[in-house]
Structure 1
Amino acid sequence: MNNFEEIESNWKNQPEIKATEKGFKALLNRIRTIKNKQRITNIVLGSTVIILIGFFFYIAGFNDQQVVLGISLMIGSLLVRMLLEILSIRKLGKMNTLSRQTDFRNDLMVYYRCRKSVHFLWTPIIIGCYVVGFLILLPLFKANLSAGFYTYIVVSSIVLLIFFSVFIAKQIRNEIKELKRLQED
């Protein structure tokens, strides 16, 4: 019984952690920043989807199954990523910033683990599907475009893939760093 009383006494005498107004506002600003970046990502992805749909109708690719498959993989992968971002924004929005610090930190840790799976599992799969869709379209480009323009498409797509991969990696690193900082606060 003595152990219980000792534990109870320690529990009652522990210092109460009180959030400061400044710290709370900084926390809300960081969460808002993460949400805004996710929204911007969705705007960029949505714009790309619209461009791909426009391209599909422009080339009238409805009758060619290879075009339909390639464009569908590209558009589908972008839509999946958009859905993941929407779900992440919702999950972040449902967190109760006014709850106890331990509850909020636990919610944040769950969110952090979900974002890590989005970044390190789903993002490579999505990029892979997008690239496969593009590769399916390459033989059609080669057959229907001049050699110079086809070469331009291949070279520029490789450069863009490298550029966007580096950009995505940097964004992922920044978001993970921000989420770690939120957990430490």
Structure 2
Amino acid sequence: MENDNLNKLWGIQANEISNFNPKDIIKKAKKQRNSQYISITVMSLTVIVLIIYAFYYAFNQLNTFNLGLILMISSLTLRIILEFYSLYRKEKQLISMAQKSYFAYLKKYYKARQMINFVITPVCIAVYIFGFYLLLPYFKDYFSKGFYTYILISGFLSLIFVIAIIIKSTIKEQSFLRQFHKS
């Protein structure tokens, strides 16, 4: 995506959108895209660690431990897929639309993101937490008390960190959506 191409495309249009110029929209889109990349990276690393652990240690038999791993991996994978889909769908639209059309598209895009942020993401987090909960009895039986405590603390801190990233990006998206409604 080239800023110059967008500036040329939007610059030739007669009517401008009052509060946004092409550079502002490009800057905000890049910032939001970068935060999506960070979220995708953190979730992808978590999935990779879980998959490596699952194939190395876990999948010899079917039990609640494996169910917990599958739930954790599935919920994060769904969230990663949704992030990639919305990210690349928006980029594709950005390149092919004129300024006014893209402005209207962004309003719809951020409203659709609300569904992801306020419905799908909490469900994914709940499924992930339930999956982690299913693992805890096995961790307690197979690991020392100190390592079990470490797993509990690091698991919850990691979850809080991921949730904080999601909340921060959701707040930014909501702020961006409010700015669109003002114009």
Question: With structure 2 as the length reference, what TM-score do the two structures score?
Answer: 0.79
Identify which of 32, 36, 40 aligns with 1:42. Answer: 40
Q: Map Cα deviations across residues 62-83 of structure 1 (whole Å, 9 max, x no partner).
A: 3242232111101100110011
- Which residue matches 1:166? 164
Name the aligned partner's letter for residue 99 of structure 1.
Answer: A
Structure 1 range deviating more: 128-137 or 28-37: 28-37
Matches within 5 A, 1:7-156: 17-18=15-16, 23-96=21-94, 98-99=97-98, 101=100, 103-156=101-154
* Letter of the structure 2 residue corresponding to residue 138 of structure 1: L
The one-letter amino acid of 2:51's match is: I
C-alpha distance in structure 1 between counterparts of 2:94 and 2:147, whole Å = 53
Cα distance in 2 for residues equivalent to 1:66 and 1:120? 28
The residue identity in structure 2 corresponding to 1:151 is T
Q: Is the 8 A contact 2:36 2:169 kept in 1?
A: no
Q: CA–CA distance in 2 between the matches of 1:159 and 1:43?
A: 17
Question: 2:116, 2:71 → 1: CA distance?
Answer: 18
Partner Cα distance (1:30, 1:131) in 2: 32
Q: Which amino acid aligns with 2:24?
A: A
Counterpart residue type for residue 133 of structure 2: L
> Structure 1 length normalisation: TM-score?
0.79
Give the residue type in structure 1 aligned to 2:175.
Answer: K
Gaps of 5+ in 2: 1-13
C-alpha separation between the residues in 2 aligned to 1:62 and 1:77? 22
Aligned-residue offset at 1:42: 1.5
* 8 Å contact from structure 2 (residues 39, 166) kept in 1: no
- In the alignment, what sits opposite 2:175? 177
Percent of residue pairs bearing the same amino acid type: 33
Give distance in 1, aligned partners of 2:117 and 2:21.
28
AA aligned opposite 2:31: T
**Greater Cα radius of gyration, structure 1 or 2:** 1
Count of aligned pairs between the two proteins: 168
Coordinate RMSD, CA, aligned: 2.4
Preserved CA contact (<8 Å) 2:72 2:132: yes
List runs of 5+ in structure 1 lacking aligned partners. 1-15
Higher normalized contact order (CA 8 Å, seq sep 6+, divided by chain length): 2
